[in-house]
Chains A and B, each alone.
Chain A
Amino acid sequence: MSFLFPLGMAALGALAPLVALYLLKQKRTEQVVPAAFLWTEAMEDLRASSLFQRFRAPLLFVLQAASVILCALAAAGASLDLDLGSKPRRLLVLLDRSASMQATDGGEGRTRFDAARDAALELVDGLRGEDEMMLVAFDRKSEVLQTFTTDGDRLRKVLAAVGPRDLPTRPAQAVETAVSFARQGRAWDVEIIVLSDGCTPEALPHVPFPVRYAALGTSGDNQGIAAVEVSRQGGEDAQCFVRIENGHDAPAKRTAVLRRGAEVLDARVVEMEPGADATAVFELPSSPGTAEMSVSLEGKDVLPADDRAHFLLRDEAPRTGFVVRAEPSVHFDPAKVQRLRPGLALVGVTLAEAEAALAAGTKVDFVCWDRTAPTRLWDVPAQMFIACLPPGAGLSDAGVMEDPVIIDWHRTHLVTSRCQFDDVLVHEAMRVAGHERSLPLIESTGGPLALLVPVPGRDVLVVAFDPSRSNLWLKLSWPLFLANSMNHLLAGAARDGEESHLPTGTAVTLDLRPPVAVTRPRGEPLTLAAESDDAALPPFAATDAGGIWRFRGADGRESLRAFVLADADEIRCAPRTELVTGSATVASDPSGFRRNALLRDPLLFAALGILLLEWALWCGRR
């Protein structure tokens, strides 16, 4: 037997007044009678007639004391060891601290994370002798909170200090970490315990050890902001596109409210089918300087963390770009294109000039590789490849498509919205291979003609045909397509420190003089210091909370950054009842975590029963 709260044994102190009362009670009322021997004989007969009666005098006291002792044991959290294995155990506890663990359906008003922590504490309380436990927390990354230890107090302190963060769930790394640690403990009974809601898109690796899994939470009634995009057409007021997802299996209706600081600017009512999404578009008012904006969903659901997204509306900074071409083109004249995207200064250069400038460290925001592919993929925020392919992006030229017929295009994407391609005739185009991870924007009978290709850190736009060898450049859709493309590419390609927002967990480079005072979104202060006085600050990656972060350098200069959770997998937070590890499936079994059976309820029932028995005996004596 072990005790969860040994201090509860202090309840045994109640025995002292009980004994005192018993001793006082022993001073019975004295009754003088003519002859006591008749009573003595009767008492002897009574004792002789029943063995039970022999103990009757102190029996009530014994019963009362027993009930007090049982209550004290219950208060001390007495528990019975059910696992009587002889081998010491090694428990690897993987604790999910992602955003979805902030859902408030953990039971008894707790969050899922609270429930996970309680389950972990139960495991700590169940450690015996040489049993060891290791704690690994995970969200988008994993972190070893505590290596294997038998020290229950240390584990409890670690668990008390850890909390959920506004980050997505990526448990694979944590599982790999756990497996590597588990391999070191062959002398123990190793077990990996996953305390999570299982809301992750990641496939977990195979785990060659026993795995137990507790699916925490009960509800998927949640809607959240899955994406925020601030788009600014050149010379126009910015727009904010907010994608709201319904993670619930029932229709939902929410109101999205746009605020500048605490001031409500606008609101949109969005209705969503089960599992579907909706977009709310807000016109953002122009304002000098930097405005702290937010979009929030009014109403309640189980996960408040994804109901608000903060972003910063900044003055538009001038942008520069190259149009890299071997010869002038009729379809991409920098002077004309510049009119489509005011604020973007484009310069026509040759491939050699462009690559020389980029190699020399020239910072440009946009490069259009017009029928001239670079020798490598340069670190440029926005890039567009016309009739050529980005190197190193996994794409290859699989030949020429003759007269491909456009059959469809992405009608809601920003790049192709409001464009018409149904009467466009393309003479020839590249047949692009390896585009499975890409998003096709214009589809033809021979394959995609325009596609967004993910490259490290961003997307690049690939147009697989030469517009001058089609009638597209003669149509209205072409400048619209170009303007949309540049807006889309540049919207997601803000320079460091000029982004409207970043995903939570993104590391940021701070161009501030250390030490830097950091104020987290909820006001908690933090100080960043460089390794030496003249050293630059390392990238700051602890951006684990959604909201506006304030960074103030030693010289008083302040920099604001907004971080947004915006993760669809966190929004669809209905707990998964199964966890797939490799080819194995682990069903959730929260009840299986109790290696120690808590005896609180049986003890309390026993104490109550004893008190009832004592009461019955007392009544019987009267």
Chain B
Amino acid sequence: MALLTKDFLAKLESLEIVSRRIRRGRFRGERRSARRGASVEFADHRPYGRGDDLRFLDWPLYARLGMLMTKLFHDEEDLAVHLVLDRSASMDFGEPSKLLHAKRIVAALGYVALLGANRVSFWSPGAGSSGDCDLRDLRSTRNAERLLQAIESLPADSRHETGAPGAGSTLLGEPLRRWIGTRRPRGVVVIASDFLHRDGAWEHLRPLVRGGLEVHAVRVQDRDEIEPQVEGDLRILDSEDGSGADVTVTPALLDLYERARLEYDRRLEEFCRSRQVSLAATVTDEPFEKLVLEVLRIRGLVA
């Protein structure tokens, strides 16, 4: 498997996806559910009702108090893990590209999720002929290969050529809103993107947060975005919407760019902090294994 090596896959077997909250699943699984169920873990009592299984009556309690109380147990269900991969044109930058880096991270997390008997969905919106990639409710490691192959085969969106605004933007904005509206996802959402958007990526994360999802944002950046290696008189073109700006790169301009970038990052981080969205940032020249094994563990996505 090109995205992930066998050694790395072996390391992933010790990890599992962690949800900060107990959520209802759809199928039985290995996670405690908010739903009362048939696990062995006591959860609570409730007054006995007609039709309750007599096996769950708490007889010692009846002996002491003379009240018929039925024991309730936690249920164990699967966890819905939604993996969202941004493969917009802006991700097709750097060596290795941001997209490849994000693919590896998403693939690793998907694999970890499948190992944990979670219900894994993968969605990556695409423009043009490639279209959306939407894999739903993958369970068990049998689907790991399918998932990884699907991720690996995804191309980046073609860069903006026509100049029409929004033509190259495939994740943040309308596609994400549409996905939330139609899928109404529950559980954990891991979204891997560069989170670069003219209007502020956080504005497009609000629907996710409002939907009660546990959102984990993995931000992938290229070193050139942080420290641009450009000089001279340039016409800067946006890869997604084709908008341009004539710039003459000077130290002063680079300072201002740095200031604008930091301000953008600050606002993104502030949004995430205030909305309890975990944000893990990585740069493509850093090993993605480190992100998966260390950073995401620290961020509480995996344990």
Stretch at the interface among B44-52, B53-61, B204-212, B254-262: B254-262
Asked if A32 and B233 make an inter-chain contact with CB atoms under 8 angstroms apart, the answer reads no
Please give me the 8 A-B residue pairs with the lowest Cβ-Cβ distance, nearest first.
A36-B238, A34-B90, A42-B256, A35-B196, A42-B257, A28-B235, A41-B260, A37-B198
Asked if A35 and B238 make an inter-chain contact with CB atoms under 8 angstroms apart, the answer reads yes
CB proximity of A574 to chain B, nearest CB, Å: 64
Could you list 13 further interchain pairs (A-B, Cβ under 8 angstroms) beyond the known A37-B196, A42-B253? A28-B246, A29-B234, A31-B230, A33-B225, A34-B98, A34-B240, A35-B197, A36-B244, A37-B238, A39-B247, A43-B253, A45-B256, A622-B250
Residue A30 lies at the interface, judged by CB distance under 8 Å to chain B: yes
Residue A620 lies at the interface, judged by CB distance under 8 Å to chain B: yes
Interface residues of B (CB under 8 A from A): 90-91, 93, 98, 159, 194, 196-198, 222, 225, 228, 230-240, 243-250, 252-253, 256-257, 259-261, 264
Q: Which residues of B contact A39 (CB under 8 A)?
A: 236, 245, 247, 257
Could you list 30 A-B pairs, sorted by A, with CB under 8 Å? A25-B233, A28-B233, A28-B234, A28-B235, A29-B235, A30-B235, A30-B244, A31-B234, A31-B236, A32-B237, A32-B238, A33-B93, A33-B228, A33-B238, A34-B93, A34-B222, A34-B240, A36-B237, A36-B238, A36-B244, A38-B260, A42-B253, A42-B256, A42-B259, A43-B245, A43-B253, A45-B259, A57-B246, A57-B248, A622-B250
Docked complex Cα distance between A267 and B20 (Å): 126
CB within 8 Å of B: which of A21-55?
25, 28-43, 45-46, 49
Residue A56 lies at the interface, judged by CB distance under 8 Å to chain B: yes
Q: Which residues of A contact B252 (CB under 8 A)?
A: 46
Closest to A618 in B: B248
Interface residues of A (CB under 8 A from B): 25, 28-43, 45-46, 49, 56-57, 620-622
Tell me the dominant secondary structure on chain A's binding face: helix
Docked complex Cα distance between A40 and B236 (Å): 9
Partner of A31, one of B237, B243, B257: B237
Q: Which residues of A contact B196 (CB under 8 A)?
A: 34-35, 37-38
Docked complex Cα distance between A38 and B259 (Å): 9
Q: Which residues of A contact B232 (CB under 8 A)?
A: 29, 622
Q: Which residues of A contact B234 (CB under 8 A)?
A: 28-31
Closest to B260 in A: A41
Closest to A31 in B: B234
Q: Which residues of A contact B98 (CB under 8 A)?
A: 34
CB proximity of B92 to chain A, nearest CB, Å: 9
Q: Which residues of A contact B231 (CB under 8 A)?
A: 622
Partner of B90, one of A31, A35, A45: A35
CB proximity of B127 to chain A, nearest CB, Å: 16
Closest to B261 in A: A38
Closest to B159 in A: A32
CB proximity of B199 to chain A, nearest CB, Å: 9
Docked complex Cα distance between A49 and B253 (Å): 11
Partner of B245, one of A36, A620, A622: A36
Docked complex Cα distance between A40 and B197 (Å): 13
Docked complex Cα distance between A57 and B247 (Å): 9
Asked if A35 and B240 make an inter-chain contact with CB atoms under 8 angstroms apart, the answer reads yes
Asked if B198 and A35 make an inter-chain contact with CB atoms under 8 angstroms apart, the answer reads yes
Q: Which residues of A contact B259 (CB under 8 A)?
A: 42, 45
CB proximity of B223 to chain A, nearest CB, Å: 12
Asked if A33 and B236 make an inter-chain contact with CB atoms under 8 angstroms apart, the answer reads yes
Docked complex Cα distance between A30 and B264 (Å): 24
Q: Which residues of B contact A43 (CB under 8 A)?
A: 245, 247, 253, 256
Asked if A56 and B248 make an inter-chain contact with CB atoms under 8 angstroms apart, the answer reads yes
Closest to A33 in B: B236
Q: Which residues of B contact A32 (CB under 8 A)?
A: 159, 237-239
Q: Which residues of B contact A46 (CB under 8 A)?
A: 252-253, 256
Docked complex Cα distance between A125 and B149 (Å): 88
Q: Which residues of B contact A33 (CB under 8 A)?
A: 93, 225, 228, 236-239
Closest to A30 in B: B235
Docked complex Cα distance between A495 and B196 (Å): 115
Q: Which residues of B contact A34 (CB under 8 A)?
A: 90-91, 93, 98, 194, 196, 222, 225, 239-240
Asked if B250 and A36 make an inter-chain contact with CB atoms under 8 angstroms apart, the answer reads no
CB proximity of A272 to chain B, nearest CB, Å: 75
Closest to B246 in A: A28
CB proximity of B303 to chain A, nearest CB, Å: 32
CB proximity of A532 to chain B, nearest CB, Å: 84
Q: Which residues of A contact B237 (CB under 8 A)?
A: 30-33, 36
Docked complex Cα distance between A38 and B258 (Å): 9
Q: Which residues of B contact A31 (CB under 8 A)?
A: 230, 234-237
Docked complex Cα distance between A29 and B234 (Å): 5
Closest to A39 in B: B236
CB proximity of B81 to chain A, nearest CB, Å: 27
Closest to B255 in A: A42
Closest to B91 in A: A34
Docked complex Cα distance between A41 and B228 (Å): 15
Docked complex Cα distance between A621 and B230 (Å): 13
Q: Which residues of A contact B245 (CB under 8 A)?
A: 36, 39-40, 43
Closest to B238 in A: A36
CB proximity of B70 to chain A, nearest CB, Å: 58
Docked complex Cα distance between A30 and B247 (Å): 10
Q: Which residues of B contact A28 (CB under 8 A)?
A: 233-235, 246
Docked complex Cα distance between A32 and B197 (Å): 15
Q: Which residues of A contact B236 (CB under 8 A)?
A: 31, 33, 36, 39-40
Q: Which residues of B contact A45 (CB under 8 A)?
A: 256, 259-260
Q: Which residues of A contact B256 (CB under 8 A)?
A: 41-43, 45-46, 49
Which of B90, B236, B245, B246 has the most chain A CB atoms inside 10 A of its CB? B236
Docked complex Cα distance between A469 and B211 (Å): 158
Docked complex Cα distance between A57 and B232 (Å): 12
Docked complex Cα distance between A32 and B247 (Å): 12
Contact A38 B257, CB 8 Å, known A28-B246, A31-B234: yes
Closest to A48 in B: B256
CB proximity of A554 to chain B, nearest CB, Å: 82
Docked complex Cα distance between A38 and B247 (Å): 12
Closest to A50 in B: B252
Closest to B201 in A: A35
Q: Which residues of A contact B198 (CB under 8 A)?
A: 35, 37
Docked complex Cα distance between A31 and B231 (Å): 10
Docked complex Cα distance between A39 and B236 (Å): 8
Docked complex Cα distance between A34 and B172 (Å): 14
Q: Which residues of A contact B225 (CB under 8 A)?
A: 33-35
Docked complex Cα distance between A31 and B257 (Å): 15
Docked complex Cα distance between A28 and B230 (Å): 13
Q: Which residues of B contact A49 (CB under 8 A)?
A: 256
Docked complex Cα distance between A621 and B244 (Å): 20
